[in-house]
Structure 1
Amino acid sequence: MVETTRDMGAGSAARAEGLHRAYGRGAATVRALRGVSVALAPGTFTAVMGPSGSGKTTLLHCLAGMDRPTRGAVWWGDTAVSRLPERRLAVLRRRRVGFVFQAFNLMPAMTVAQNVELPGRLAGERPERGRVLEAIARVGLAGRERDRPGQLSGGQQQRVAIARALVSRPQVLFADEPTGALDRATGHEILTLLREGVDRDGRTCVTVTHDPVAAGYADRVLLLADGVVVDELDRPTAARVGERLSRLGG
């Protein structure tokens, strides 16, 4: 078990301390996380990897405030988000973090701009048009605001999903297998876009991936197995990640 305790103070963009997450009861209990402590320094790109069932997606969801730990705490800066009431957490989540899914989760009848605006509108807010257009342009889709998802390639649809996550100008961007449904070339474009957000905008990015090549875009790789962090790689290469994963059976 590796305790990734770097930057565990309030200077971290996000951090988890002693996270446990269990599902079910009694003999059917599944312990997805077993005392995980990690910290995400501002302006860094972290990849989370591990075999199927290792707890990586659960960790991502807990860090993003989309799931609550059974025990332990999650912090965004100096705010203990895991202890907030659901309504306050939802408001803070919209303002502080963005989330990108493997499935693009776009509404087919809506335009690109309408899809980017949708989370804000569902929250009863009216996103500024200039901010929406800025987010669309930032992902390389300027001029496609009125197109619908069916008119776009898979990579372009994922770019819309990223624009939707970026429109609130989040401090931390979480991505769950963002290239899992894309071919290698298109995946490279998406990973380059995420990397540019870290290097150019100082955003913190965390992604779950099964692909050692994708992990090579990160500054750091956290390897999970059986709900704990068992290894950590700085400045990873695809070869090093692949070799470490093979030891874990991932």
Structure 2
Amino acid sequence: MNDHAVLLDGVTRTYGRGATEVTALRQVSVAFTSATFTAVMGPSGSGKSTLLQCGSGLDRPESGAVRVAGQDITRLPEKALAVLRRDRIGIIFQAFNLVPSLTAWQNVVLPTRLARRRPDADRVRELLARVGLEGREGHRPAQLSGGQQQRVAIARALLGRPAVLFADEPTGALDRATGHEVLALLREAVDRFGQTVVMVTHDPEAATWADAVLFLRDGQIVDTLARPSAEQISARLGGRR
């Protein structure tokens, strides 16, 4: 258990009822080992985002257990779960979730401030520079492009060096060069700081940065490839083995 940053054990999650019921995850069991980078792939509706939401404690399964650093988070009260997410889990959302009235700098340090800790100004400055936002620290979200807002969200998630970082399409709104920088940051978080990264992506090139690629279909894990090439990933997504 100590080697597993995140463990999903027999997790099932359904939405809707009766004729509209959809099973997003079906008895999924998977362990994400500490200090590894895993990409999660599959067609739309395969359960990728639901796996991320259950693994990060944003959603609770109907059955099964989710453990973060050995702790069963499916049984935690909401307040304790919120504290755990703040202190141990980083999340990069597709929708950015920035506060419109705050600057890029203020958005990055907000979780640290809420935890009543003093942010490392040098680290904030370094992260904003690494994601291509040097000189835009004082801009509010409305003054930034969608790609730039995503970079703020990425810097925010990385600032506290969380034990586990969940990323939902982190390079989807970025140009190729900036996306490369972001993936390098995620890879560095694993190799240099021992963080665990779980990334949902549709991009075979992005997935090659991972140690392993997990493939979902119809709410179930159907395959795992270790250090695959972009060609191997594309072939697997196309249904060829």
Task: Name the TM-score, length of structure 2 as normaliser.
Answer: 0.90
Q: What displacement does 1:153 show?
A: 5.6
- 1:125-176 C-alpha deviation (Å, 9 max, x unpaired): 33303x2542442352566543434555655433321221123331000000
Residue 148 of structure 2 corresponds to residue 137 of structure 1: no
| Whole-angstrom distance in 1 between the partners of 2:117 and 2:69 | 25
Match runs of 1:1-250 below 5 Å: 9-121=1-113, 123=114, 125-129=115-119, 131=120, 133-139=122-128, 140=130, 144-149=136-141, 152=144, 154-247=146-239
Q: Give the unaligned 5+ runs of structure 2.
A: none
Q: Give the unaligned 5+ runs of structure 1.
A: 1-8
Corresponding position of 1:5: none
Q: Secondary structure at the match of 1:13?
A: strand
Corresponding position of 1:6: none
Is contact 1:109-1:148 (8 Å) kept?
Answer: yes
Is contact 1:94-1:168 (8 Å) kept?
Answer: no
Task: Name the TM-score, length of structure 1 as normaliser.
Answer: 0.87
Percent identity of equivalent pairs:
60
Say how many residue pairs are matched.
Answer: 237
1:242 alignment partner AA:
S
Is contact 2:12-2:28 (8 Å) kept?
Answer: yes
Is contact 1:113-1:132 (8 Å) kept?
Answer: no
Q: What displacement does 1:118 show?
A: 2.5
Is contact 1:155-1:187 (8 Å) kept?
Answer: no
Runs (4+) of structure 1 exceeding 6 A deviation are none
Is contact 2:4-2:32 (8 Å) kept?
Answer: yes
